[in-house]
Amino acid sequence: MSSTFSIRQLRLNNHIVEAMKLASEALGKTPGDMELMGETIRVFIVAGQPEAASSLYQVFAGASGSNNLEPEALVRLAMLLDRADLIENMTPPEGPSWLVELLIGGSDPVSSLEPQAMDISVVNGPAIFNIKGLCPHCAHSLAVQVKVSLLIHKTWICPACFGNVLLDHEGARSIMNDTFSEVLQESAAESDAQLIDYLRPKLMGAEPMPDIALALGQEYHFLLNEIILADLTPEENTGADQS
C-alpha cells in the first residue's frame, strides 16, 4: 500500500493529525512525488494550515506545470488565505454545492452536519460523545468527538469536499434525543433521582460506604457511569454485546 493512498484514507476518515505525520515522513523520503505532494496539500487545507499548503502548492504547481488539484481544494485554500480575489473569474463547476453557492452568490456557506448516530463513553474520566453523520454538501460520512458538554458550536472543513461543516448544540441534542429516547421518559428520570438519593448520603459520609468506593473517590463516579452507560447505550451504536 502506497503512502499516498494511506494518507488519503486517513484524510477521508478525518484522522488529520495522523495524516500530517505520515505525509511529512513520506515527503522527506520522496520529495519529488507529485501525487504525494498533492495529497499533502489537501491534508494541510483540511488541517487549517493555509500557509503550509500554499508554500507546498507553489512547489507543486511549478514542478508539475499545472494546478491539477480539484477546484474545491484550490478555492478552499484561497478562502483560508483570505484571497477571494484569486477566484473572482472562476467558472462555477457542477459541484459540490458549497462551491457553486460561493462562486455564484459570493457567500461561503457553513452548513449543519446531518447527525445519524451517537454513542457515549466514559473511560476513566468525563463523558465523551461520539457523533456520526453526513456532510451537508457532499454526503461524505463524518465523525466528530465532543467531550463533557453538548453546549458546542464546532466548525470544520469536510475532508472530502472541503466545505464548511457545523455541529451546534441543537444538532447534537437532536441526535441524542433520538438515540436515547427511552432515557428521556419520566420513569428513567425517577430512577435516576432514586439512585442519586441512595448514593448521596453514602458519598457524603453520612452513611456507611465500602472502603474501596471511598478510596476511589471521583474514580468511583466514573466507574458507575461506565456501568450505567453500558446498560443504556443502544447495541447498534456501540457494537458491544449487551447480553
Q: Where are the domains of the chain?
A: 3-103, 109-243
Q: For the packed helices 71-80 and 97-105, what is the interaxial angle rounded to 10 degrees?
A: 60
pLDDT for 218 equals: 59
3-state secondary structure of 114: strand
Quote the mean pLDDT of the chain: 83
Asked if residue 140 has pLDDT above 90, the reply is: yes
- Topology given in CATH for the domain delimited by 3-103: 1.25.40
* Exposed / middle / buried, residue 200 (Cβ in 10 Å: 0-12, 13-18, 19+): exposed
- Which residue bears the cell 489537501? 42
Residue 165: beta bridge partners? 111, 156
Nearest alpha-carbon partner for 114 in 77, 150, 168: 168
- pLDDT per residue over 179-222, tens digit each? 877 666 666 566 666 767 776 676 666 777 676 665 555 566 66
CA-derived radius of gyration, the chain: 24
Query: Which grid coordinates belong to 208?
Result: 456507611
The whole-angstrom separation of Cα 235 and Cα 243 is 10
Mean pLDDT of 3-26: 96
- Residue 235, SS3? helix
* Alpha carbon of residue 186 to chain centroid: 32
Q: Which carries the bigger pLDDT value, residue 43 or residue 193?
A: 43
Side-by-side strand order, sheet with 114-121:
114-121, 128-134, 141-147
Set of cell numbers at residue 100: 457553486
Residue 236 has pLDDT above 60, yes or no: no
Identify the bridge partners of residue 110 per DSSP, sorted by sequence position. 164
